[in-house]
Every structure is written in structure tokens, then in C-alpha cells.
Chain A
């Protein structure tokens, strides 16, 4: 798909009308700043300023009440020595790559199956359903479903499994969290990818079929290239949302008002615990530093991913 390039975006002084332009052109240019300003002001106020403030805060020690104390890079040095923070980065990367890859494999698989299926709209709605449920609901229900004498183990007993897995044991906790994420994200991405696949004219598949292509070849040579733009956007969306995973871990692993075990923390949870942890110690400097590290992480990964997935768009 070719993106139309607006003449407005070219050159400097875009907003100033010039002689010899058409009336429409001139009025467009006059409206450029008035139309852009509101969004720009909001972006600066609610995104840029907080980020800059967080960056500055990360170089200070602050309990949220007293004066800020300049500590330079100390907070970052402390983070680099903190095994809990390093563990939380590893967990975030696990969510990004393991959950991401499995989710996309499922989404592609479902896309291929659903394309030719009867009643695909209904199935698609069913698949999308988990996205509508707050992941926290599952976090709370998991305690009941997977408890040692819960319904899941009772079902397994019926089919002859005498010694069912310890679902909620500490070792399995993070795996369970990842499974829930896959379960709730698959439907979402399947829906988006399906909408791109729906735009691919059927005759491409018919032609490929006549040439003897099987389902895999059709996917590889028709679906994938023609839906590529949407897929790469999905990958970026996933990257950004995976770094923010928070509430599911908090509810899944935490009991009452206490934080979940550190072995399940993501960077987002670390940021929260440093600022509002159950201990009452408020370390906003450390919290800001870990948030900045997360921001750098997501920026680097997103840029890397965009480069990796960059391809010439295919015109349908």
C-alpha cells in the first residue's frame, strides 16, 4: 500500500502560506497548527513532561514527602546489583518472547483454520471473548479451579490421573501466569490478523490452489506477505503491552495485601513495589529508575523489531 504523502509535511515553514498556491492549499496550511496544537500540548503535558520528570527523579532519592536528594547514577547502580530487578527483567523478556511467540503461532494456526471454516464469525467472537474478561478475574478464579481439591484435579481424577500436577505450586506460578496471558491474548491477535486476511481476495488462494499449493504454501506465499503490515503492527503492539503486564501477576501471585513472590515479578511490578510496596518504604527514585530502564527496554526492542520486520509492502 502506498502512503499518500501530504505536501504539507514537506520543507520548513509549512504553516506559512506562500504566493502562487491554490486557495485550498493556503487554508490547509493556515489550519495546520491550530489543528495540531491541542494534541501536541496534551502529548507534551501528559507524556513528555512525566517522562522527563521520571528521568530526573531517577537521579534522586525521594520518599515522596521530604526534599529530593541528588544521588546521580546510584539508583541505576543499585538496580544492576539487585537480583530481584534482574529477575524481573528476565521475566518480562520471557513474557515478551515465549508468550509472544506461542500466541502468534496459535493466532496464525487459528487464522488458517478459520479462513475456510463455516460459521467463522461466531468462532471468532468466541475466541475474542477472553480479551473482554479482565485477566484479574482469571487470577482470582485460578485459586479455586486449580486448588489441590479443585474442579480441574477432580476432572483429572475421573480420567484416571492419580497424581495431578501441583498447578499453583511456587515453581509453576509463573508458567501459569504465562498460560493465562496466551489464553487471553490469542483471541485478540487472531481477530486483528483475521481482519487483514479477510481483505485478501479469494482468487489468490484459488490460483495458488490450482498451482497445487497446500495450506502451508498458501499461508507462506499468500497470507503472510499480504497481511505483513498488520502482523508487524501486532508484533509492536504485543511488545508494548507485554512490558506493561502488571495486574495479572499481582492478583495471581499475591495473597491478601502482600506482594506476589519475587520470582514472578515483572519490571512493571517492580516499579510499583518500589513506590508503593507493602513495607511502607517509598523509594520513588528507584521506582523511576526501574521505569526508565523498562522504557529503554521497550524502545530498543520496538525499534529492533520494526527493523527486523521491515519489508516492501505488497500491493493487493
Chain B
């Protein structure tokens, strides 16, 4: 038998080892952004994907910005999970100069840990193309005032460019109850009319607790004032649940269910089934974010005319605050080209550029002087005429996901009475805070 030479064996072994090592590292890429021969550049990681209309709008402005200022923009269309990438990038100091997301993403993820630049100075910058007007002049202060700091040091950590809100949507062309109710009693009266006309009053998908809890959140706000929802769920002792306003809120929801005002089958449907049923005129009202018209457009009945009204008041002194959800730009502190990023924020605040959010992407822009898309005209009016608040008073999502939701689901699905709910929700919130340590 031929002997294999010892060096050959060793070489084979070494070759195997290196080939495996190379295979393992094969996916490493070098994507460092080069700024070329000293030219200015900036990096933008977007919450949109490249094919979305919002990306189209931003692309147009980014191209114009590059042309006007000579600053090269490297864009990555990351999609909604963009902040996970930013968080990971912070560890290796590989962060974009500009990023965008909603306040409830930017806040708890980055502002809480003091990773974002203070953008208050940007509000004083003038908007290119609009003589004398500053960013702060064109974007209402209330969108900044309402931002929660989540325990971080910076208040103005984002500059909104598009606003969503939560209102009650309805078909303005409906014959059953064409007038929008202003008070809770008027809403209930219209519900009776709906039942008499053999349609449901309220559409809801039982599995979309995040949306159904808007009912509780708004009612609690109307019954007990601004900040009452946050106070309720952030109370570690659970004592806030003894406030009669909580029972009142739970009873109001119980009434909706017991009276059969919520669409049949809602407790066994998967979002967005009943949402589509609403658009085909099977229910009168739908409490939802202002994305509802865009999502239901192709299911809408013939002649459907999108309208919206602010959540009704329950007492003469009720708050009329309206939920706003701001999406906007932020600049990480560790970014290398923060000035260029801030320059673009001011550049995009221009009416024509930000206006495309409305005219091209059919969303509401953060500028009230931009004409709203036809389906969101009422929403724009609601936002302009009422004070602003945040859904769930801006409490962290973990509190609702792990503490508040489970017992609320039971109330909303008719498995608990109002009294049972108050008791169960109280102990669930106490257990949540107990586990939080």
C-alpha cells in the first residue's frame, strides 16, 4: 500500500480548516460609505421600503437636495424595522446621519438612552425657498410639545413630516345617521338607528386589541381628563383602578357589547376582515388610525364618502384632545455628518416638498397649510381644531402588551362584566409592575 506523506496529510487538514473558515466568513461584505475625494455626504436609513409612495416623495427631495447643495446622499430603504438596525449599528459606531420613524419607535429606543441629537436648533433654521419662515413656523409646536421623553434628556428629538391620527371614521353619504355625533349619547342614539336599519353600529376585529383599546383609551380620557390613562396603568399599587371613572369607562364599553352595537362575529374575526366589512357599509362607525381610508379603498362600497369625527365627549367638561401619531426625522448623536442631516430636515420642510406627502403619498403632512388628501379632509380639520394627545397617553408598548391588554380583551369580547374587569385589570397591572421589579 502506498504511504501518504505526512506533509500531505497536514496540508490536507490545513486546507480543509481554511476552506471551512472561509465559507463561514463568506457573507461578510464591505459596505462602508466612501465620501470620495473629500466631497460632502450623508447617510439616510429610511423606515420606508423603496417601492412605497413615501419613498418616492423622499427620493425626489433627496435628489434635489443633492443637486442644490452638492451633498451626496446615500440612502438605504430599510423598512419599518429600521431602528433595530440603528440599535445594532450603535455598538459598532456604524450609524446613519439621518433616520426616520414614529415617536413611539424613536422615543423608547433611542431618545430614552440619549442617543439622539437635540433638534430644537433646527426649528430656528429657515426653510429653503420660503423667505423668512423657519421650520418651527411651519410645523405646529403642539406636535413637539406632546413628545414624551421616556426618561431621556432631550425633548425635541424628532421633527415630524407626516402625521397620523385616530378618529371615528364613517361614510358621509350614509342615509342612516349622516350627522356626526359630538357626544357619547348622540353616538349611542345613532347606534340605535343603525340597528333599526339592520346594519351594525361599530366595526371591530376582535384580534386587533391595539385598535379596540382606542375605545377604552379615549373614553377614559373623556371621563377623567388628559393623562388619566397613563396614570391608571403606571400606578404600581393599582389604586387608580378604584377611581369611579374606570368603572364608568368599563360600563360604557360593556353597554356597546351588550346592546349588540358591535358588528356580529367581531369576536372571532381576524383583522382586517371587519374593517373591510365597514367599508362595504355593513357598519356605521370605525375607530381607527388615519390609514383606514388607504387600507379600505379597494373594498369601499360605491359612493362611499370618507368622513371622520373626533371621539365624542362624555361630559360637558370632557377633553376634546385628539390622538396624533407623528412620524419624522431624527439624527443619532454618533453620526458623522449631523450638520448635513439637519440641513436636509429644514430643506424637506419646504411646502412644495413636504406637500408631496399629501399629493403623492396620500398621507397628512405635518404642515397644516398643505391641502389634505380628499379622504383625510375631516381628519385634517380635527387635528387643526383640537388639542393634541398621544394614543394611550404615550405609555410604553410593553405596559399594554403584557399588562393592560389581556384583561381588556376579555372585557371587549364580552367575557367579563365591567365590575369583574376592574378587579381583574387591577390585579393584572399590579402583577405586571411586580414582575418589572
Contact = CB atoms under 8 A, between A and B. Distances in A.
Interface of A: 23, 27, 30-31, 33-35, 37-39, 41-42, 63-66, 74, 77-79, 81-85, 142-143, 146-149, 166-170, 172-173, 253, 255-259, 261-263, 273, 276-282
Contacts of B3: 23, 27
B402 interface: yes
Nearest to B103: A280
A148 B269 contact: yes
Interface stretch (B34-42, B157-165, B377-385, B391-399): B391-399
B80 interface: yes
Chain B contact surface mostly = helix
Contacts of A37: 13, 17
B209 A34 contact: no
Nearest to A283: B398
Interface string B1-31: 1011010011011101100110010000000
A277 B12 contact: no
Given A64-B91, A255-B205, A280-B396, 14 more contacts: A35-B13, A37-B17, A38-B17, A38-B20, A42-B20, A64-B90, A143-B271, A148-B264, A148-B265, A167-B268, A170-B206, A255-B210, A258-B208, A276-B84
A147 B269 contact: yes
A256 B271 contact: yes
B107 interface: yes
A34 B401 contact: no
A168 B436 contact: no
A166 B431 CA distance: 30
B56 interface: no
Most B CB atoms within 10 A — which of A37, A83, A273?
A: A83
A39 B20 CA distance: 8
Interface in B388-426: 396-402, 405-406, 409-410, 413
Contacts of B16: 34-35, 38
16 contacts: A30-B6, A31-B12, A33-B13, A34-B14, A81-B435, A83-B428, A147-B268, A168-B270, A169-B268, A170-B410, A257-B80, A258-B401, A261-B409, A278-B401, A280-B104, A281-B398
Contact of A279 (B6, B24, B401): B401
A279 B399 contact: yes
Interface in B280-330: none
A83 B273 contact: no
B267 interface: yes
A34 B13 contact: yes
A143 to B, nearest CB: 3
Contacts of A35: 13, 16
A147 B270 contact: yes
Given A253-B207, A255-B207, A282-B109, A170 B267 contact: yes
